[in-house]
Amino acid sequence: MAERVPLGFSQLAECLAEVYRRRSLNRFEHSLRHERDEALPIFACVQEPLDLEKPARQGQPASPVVLRMLSDRLRPEGAKSPELQVPHFVVGLEDKSPTDGPDAELKPVSTEEVDELVSLLDRATAGLKDNRSGGYDFPRYDLVRWLMGESFTEAKQVRRALYRRAVGGVGDGDGVWARIQLQLPGWLQVLTLWLLPTFFWLRNSGRVPVLSGGYRWLRNQPYLARGDDNLFELARRITRDKRPEQDPERFAGLLVNAFLEDLRAGFRRVEWIHKHRATHPILLVGPISRTNGGYLLVRMVAEVRNDTMRFDPLLLVTIGRKVPPLALEPGEAKVDESVAAWRARHLQESLQRWIGAWLLTFPIGASQVAATRKLSLKNRPAAVTTEEEREVRFQRVIGPWWRRRTGGWLIIGTVLAVLAAAYGGFGVLDDRRHCGGDGFRWLFFEAVDSSVAKVDGDCVGLTDGTNSLLYPSDSFGPVGAKILEQNRKAAELSKLEPERPVITLASLTSASDGSSSPGGFTAEREQLAGLAVAQAVQLGKPAQRYEPILRVLIANAGPRYRHADRVAAQLGALAQKDPSVVAVVGMVESRQSTQDMIRKLAAVGLPTVAATLTADQMVDVSRMYLQISPQNRREAAVVAAHVRNQLATGKDPFGHALKPKLTVYKSDDPADTYSQNLAKDVVQAFAAVGIPGSSSSYSSQGGAVDPAAAGREACDHQGEVVFFAGRGQVDFQAFLGGIQDRCRTRPPYIIGGDDTTKYVADRGVSGLNQSIPFQYLALALAPDLLQNASPQSADFYVRLQELFPYEKTDRGRSLDGHAALSYDAAYAIVLATSYLRRDSIAVNGGTVWSALQSITDADGAKRGYQGVSGPIDFGGSIAQRVPVNKPVAIVTFQRGGPVPKATIVCGQRSESPSWCPVA
């Protein structure tokens, strides 16, 4: 027995079934072939009294029963088989009844009505984006909505914002273009520095078909006063500040036009390239009224169709108490018996641009009785308002395979696959010969260096910059390219000025192919950038026999210097053939493996000048080792004196009460020399000034107490000093995350060791921390971390930004000081070479090591120099090998960034606060 349904429901379902398929697949196509009109009606259902279901959850609007029944028919197999449903989406609205009486003149649209329409369209687009509901994209509508939320005072601000939005975060490791660039060869990565602005100009001009996409539509749409043809001026009229100046009705038309244009774009005829859709998108909306955006949606869909005279695939089904958008009674509106009757009427009335021409009205239940008898709903007699349902079958339609993307891509893919397989196979084989088995090289485009090889899964060896495979991260691209460029200039300059010595420095680090994140090698990249600046400075100096020309090699010994023997042997053999190889710089972490690497380098006669290592025991590893940074014991003494000075005030730098108690968090990795040593030094230094302390370990390798758990535990030390002696990248970020989880509003007083600078340097990560203030130790300072930068620092960072434009951006600017420290290490070797040449002594690894220790002002030598990171003076003792009185800075981080005016520098007594200890 057929189910009883509201009177008129079966006719509604039958008419919908007649038009829901794409015309090329419609079973009624043959009978309608003579008609050219493909327009789709707006199904306007009227039911009084309106039958509403109780909301599924509290706070949700009640859903009309008719829409629920229609949705059930569009899911023939029910909720258990959602993949078989006809694509549709139901937008339930709050039941706001329209006022009584017709609205023959259509009242002017108010801003409040537009806001309701925006809410309705936001829900509709979100629903239709789901694959079950059609999988449509709405780039034009999303562009308009994005502009509505923005505020710009000038058109050029719109241009910059659209640029960032269009290219998807260029320069950002998480951006679209950044991910694409990871797959490009080095020469093409550099070329994109010019290609991207050109691409942006063409795309956002709105003048180039296809390429300009949604911007071309925005430029040519008819619903905003045109004025200036400039796209950015036009876009600014949509923003939050300018929107009140627009006509609400025209603005509503803009929104609906964007919505319909996106549906048209997703319903294009050439489906084998794009997603094939065999049914029209069905949007079920109700209950509608004048005040909840429903009437306005009907009105604007009709007006846009009248204005544009273009087909759109939207099947809009609405239900309310009266006929929209004039709020007519069912008996007062035209009621067509079929879609064919509506088409006949529509062909005539649409030429008059009449909104009602698009409505196919369906009185339901009692409204059907009243409409049939031409009676008002108030005076209608009691009558049967239900009927037996006539079976109407809806089914998800799958078009023929040659109309789908699968068929089209199958042909194209087969051809491209054969070509790509051949090219890729040769590229992989060639890469295996030069750097291992898992990589790929762009044949005919990318040069390789045979001194690099794949060993046990790691790409190790050394290169002058020609081999981009040595480092797995794309962040090295611009720096490696600059090193290669300047190495070639150095070779040319050496021929022109043969009296100048050439010295070669090898920048050594330990990188793993397993880490592809650009942020994972920020320290290594910055050290290379510092070397590039030193190289550029020497290239620019006038010809003097004592001014060396600097050549840089990039070396990688694998993670934790796993392949130290191989790389040390390579460097030693190279130094035997080429005496210009005089020293190794770099080294980014104080670990046991780092110490082993230094010993191996000393065994082949090469001194090491470390830029950022601070562990106390590093100087005891080898007599051929020197470092530019102060030691951990110096850092510990500075931070202990700083806290003692804060205790005199009774408060920490952030205004909270402070107690004399310390907890140090360190890594439980015994091979992490830096963390173990710094934690020990800090506890001892605090004890020396009368502050008791203890240390607590965490595991960064997935142990029971990970950095996040350590952060949560740190909340128990509120009002005390918490010192983080672990690694800045990953660990410190997770540590702060644990604090945010548990005591965001009142964290302890946090101080981080110098490795924390790596976390701060990653602006994309540290900038998100707006809630947890902390201080950290820094070994070198960029000018924007000080109110009054030193001349050396100012000059260096100007050169750094000239060489690497990304350093000018907030995301790229160096805050960790590694570039400055690396520059000082390189320049110390340059000075040592200069002293040797002045004294007519041969330049090689052994003599340079000896000359490095002569960089001092002790005993009147006057050979020390003022570096970017502070004075470099090795004290005149062979046992020193660490600069004396090297500054240590305390930087304050608050509300997502460092606070320059709060930076404290402890260096030479005359330039430091009185409480600072003297080294």
DSSP string over 648-671: TTTB-TTS-B--S-EEEEEES-TT
Residue 919 has pLDDT above 70, yes or no: no
Instruction: Establish how many alpha carbons lie within 13 A of residue 462's alpha carbon, considering only the half-sphere containing its beta carbon.
Output: 23
Interatomic CA distance for residues 548 and 541, integer angstroms: 9
Residue 33 pLDDT class (50, 70, 90 cuts):
very low
Bridge partners, 455 (sequence order): 458
Q: Which residues, in sequence order, are CB contacts of 51 under 8 Å at separation 6+?
A: 6, 64, 65, 66, 365
Window from 219-228, 508-517, 677-686, 781-790 with minimum mean pLDDT: 508-517
pLDDT (mean) for 630-646: 95
pLDDT 10s digits, 70-99:
999 999 887 777 778 899 999 999 887 655
Token pair 């009229």: residue: 237
Would you call 562 helix, strand, or coil by DSSP? Answer: coil
Supply 228's token pair: 């200036």
Would you call 614 helix, strand, or coil by DSSP? Answer: coil
Residue 710 pLDDT class (50, 70, 90 cuts):
very high
Residue 886 has pLDDT above 70, yes or no: yes
The pLDDT, as a whole number, for residue 84 is: 82
pLDDT 10s digits, 190-226:
666 667 667 776 776 666 776 777 778 888 888 876 6
Residue 458 has pLDDT above 80, yes or no: no
The pLDDT, as a whole number, for residue 472 is: 60
Residue 380 region, left (φ>0) first, then alpha (ψ -120 to 50), else beta? beta
**495 class by beta-carbon count within 10 Å (0-12 exposed, 13-18 middle, 19+ buried):** exposed
Window from 468-482, 504-518, 568-582, 813-827 with minimum mean pLDDT: 504-518
Between these two residues, 147 and 180, which has the higher pLDDT value? 147
Beta strand ranges found along 292-350 (DSSP E): 315-320
pLDDT (mean) for 438-455: 65
H or E element at residue 713: helix 707-714
* CA distances to 677, 690, 762, 844, 909 from 662, in Å: 16, 11, 28, 48, 27
Window from 11-25, 77-91, 427-441, 643-657 with minimum mean pLDDT: 427-441
The pLDDT, as a whole number, for residue 178 is: 60
* CA distances to 50, 316, 340, 388, 389 from 4, in Å: 17, 25, 26, 4, 6
The pLDDT, as a whole number, for residue 441 is: 64
Residue 168 pLDDT class (50, 70, 90 cuts):
low
pLDDT 10s digits, 527-582:
889 999 999 999 999 888 899 999 999 888 888 788 888 888 888 888 889 989 99
Would you call 531 helix, strand, or coil by DSSP? Answer: helix
Check residue 628 and report its DSSP letter.
Answer: S
DSSP per residue, 772-825: --EEEEESS--GGGSSS--HHHHHHHHHHHHH-GGGGSTTT---S-HHHHHHHH
pLDDT (mean) for 507-536: 75
Residue 691 has pLDDT above 90, yes or no: yes
Interatomic CA distance for residues 123 and 292, integer angstroms: 13
* CA distances to 230, 358, 707 from 304, in Å: 24, 11, 57
Residue 455 pLDDT class (50, 70, 90 cuts):
confident
pLDDT 10s digits, 361-376:
999 987 777 666 655 5
Nearest to residue 792, comparing CAs of 613, 530, 608, 588?
Answer: 530
* CA distances to 481, 867, 897, 904 from 834, in Å: 27, 16, 40, 34
Window from 414-428, 717-731, 768-782 with minimum mean pLDDT: 414-428
Interatomic CA distance for residues 90 and 282, integer angstroms: 9
Look over the chain and give the mean of its residue pLDDT values, rounded to a whole number.
Answer: 84
Window from 32-36, 105-109, 372-376, 654-658 with minimum mean pLDDT: 32-36
Interatomic CA distance for residues 513 and 520, integer angstroms: 11
Supply 376's token pair: 């008002």
pLDDT (mean) for 488-496: 94
Q: Which residues, in sequence order, are CB contacts of 839 under 8 Å at separation 6+?
A: none
* CA 354-356-358 angle, 5° bins: 95
The pLDDT, as a whole number, for residue 378 is: 56
Bridge partners, 905 (sequence order): 889
Window from 189-198, 244-253, 380-389, 905-914 with minimum mean pLDDT: 189-198
The pLDDT, as a whole number, for residue 32 is: 38
Per-residue burial over 745-765, b if 16 or more Cβ lie within 10 Å, else e, is eebbbbbbbbbbbbbbbbbbb
Residue 743 has pLDDT above 50, yes or no: yes
The pLDDT, as a whole number, for residue 166 is: 67
Sign (positive or negative) of CA dihedral 585, 553, 465, 448: negative
H or E element at residue 393: none
Residue 126 has pLDDT above 50, yes or no: yes
pLDDT (mean) for 655-681: 94
The pLDDT, as a whole number, for residue 22 is: 82
386-388 and 4-6 as β-strands: parallel, antiparallel, unpaired? antiparallel
* CA distances to 282, 313, 577 from 22, in Å: 12, 9, 76
The pLDDT, as a whole number, for residue 740 is: 94
Question: What is the CA 707 to chain-centroid distance, rounded?
Answer: 24
The pLDDT, as a whole number, for residue 677 is: 95
The pLDDT, as a whole number, for residue 592 is: 84
The pLDDT, as a whole number, for residue 659 is: 94
Supply 835's token pair: 């002293």
The pLDDT, as a whole number, for residue 29 is: 40
pLDDT 10s digits, 747-763:
999 999 999 988 888 88
Three-class DSSP labels, 752-785:
ECHHHHHHHHCHHHHCCCCCCCEEEEECCCCHHH
Percentage of the chain exceeding pLDDT 90:
40
* CA distances to 5, 127, 275, 408, 412 from 415, in Å: 55, 37, 21, 12, 5
The pLDDT, as a whole number, for residue 859 is: 78
Residue 320 has pLDDT above 50, yes or no: yes
Sign (positive or negative) of CA dihedral 863, 868, 870, 876: negative
The pLDDT, as a whole number, for residue 777 is: 96
pLDDT (mean) for 168-188: 59
pTM of structure: 0.55
Instruction: Establish how many alpha carbons lie within 13 A of residue 254's alpha carbon, considering only the half-sphere containing its beta carbon.
Output: 29
pLDDT 10s digits, 252-305:
999 999 999 999 988 875 555 566 788 899 999 999 998 899 999 999 999 999
Between these two residues, 323 and 521, which has the higher pLDDT value? 323
Token pair 């529509």: residue: 346
